[in-house]
Chain A
Amino acid sequence: MLKNLYIYRYRTINFLKTFFSQIILILVSISCIFPLVWMFSAALKTQQTVFTDMSLFPKHPVWNNFVVAWTKANFGVYFFNSLFYTVVVVFGVIFIGSLAAFAFSRFKFPLRNFFYILFMATMMIPIPGSFISLYILLTKLNLINTRIGYILPQINGGLAMTIFMLKTFFDKMPKDLENAAKIDGCNKFRIYLHVALPLAKQAIAVMVIFTALGVWNEYLLAMLVLSSKTLMPLQRGLMVFQGSHMTEYPLLMAGITITIFPIVTIYLLMQKYIIKGVMAGAVKE
């Protein structure tokens, strides 16, 4: 009898715990999603109704806001710029980074460890002001307000992490594979291209996602380097739009929707890998 009572009590407490946990989790989830819903809802209102209509989904949604934002507010141009920068930087980071990681892992050459440690050191030590001299350098090289001036520093910015991740991966690659390829007459580059890279597919995929997220969300460098609207990526474009159209909330929110749509889509499709990547990265460290 007493035993039953204990079990009963235990079950009730457990139920209450789960119940309240669920309520809290749901409330927090709503607070995570709501600002985005509110943004989207404002993007569907007119300049007049946005300040008075407090409904979550307006009765007469103005889808035209997206067309206006895309064409007249220049977000179409910003979007393709962002896409271009993201593709080029990701390709650059992965190509240059994986080449270096392979060499650091597999070859012996003078100053190998010196350079590797140098790479890792800059990843660990924060240098908050290096953007000042980066700006000066780009001015000297006549790369201010050019695409290449925006791309190269970002490729460099992604290298250390990529080299670190891929080197740890290549270190685990069996030596026999490399030897077999050598006997078949592969040179170093072909071993890298045909043996190492295909094996590292998954690790590379993770680096692609995280680098792409970083480039798509980059702002500081874009602010310092780019001043022509034709060259700006979305994040910079948003601030430029906000600076000159302070209160045009519907168009601004349409612009933000355009900005985050690809990110949110890719995140939802790849969430398993992204969250696993964050978890793995943390626990390993």
Chain B
Amino acid sequence: MHHIEVTINGVLRRAEVPPETTLLSALRDSWGLTGSKLGCDVGDCGACTVLVDGLSVNACLLLAVQADGREVVTIEGLSGFEYLHPLQAAFERLSSYQCGFCAPGMIISAKALLDENPAPTELEIREALAGNLCRCTGYTKVVDAITEVCRDHANAVGVEESA
């Protein structure tokens, strides 16, 4: 068993895990954070995408011990009782998802993109989502929602700068 300490969504968490435990199973089984989903367990589908030190990774490909001492952000870290992340609000407005199973991973990938590049082109958005499979939506309303967030953000920044 290995002792690990990971900062998850701003909170330091500890666990004792067998060495083969993935970060995904630590999140789900040790810490009860079931927002990140198990879709394939081999890094093909992206349903388990989380941020580790700001970079988007498949939590099923990372061992829990590799996350020791790092900062992890999961879907649960994006919203609280009183607010949604702008991406979440846009996805909700457009009913971008259907079965919703891919949503947590895809939203994290979208956040990772916008953190790096707040004004992506449509191709850059599609490239950022290419590792997140969805079988329901055709990605159309997902890309539309991200585009809206970027536009709103650009407008907000524009207003701030001109003020």
Q: Do these two chains really belong together in a complex?
A: no
Q: Which chain B residues have a beta carbon within 8 Å of chain A's beta carbons? A: none
Q: Which chain A residues have a beta carbon within 8 Å of chain B's beta carbons? A: none
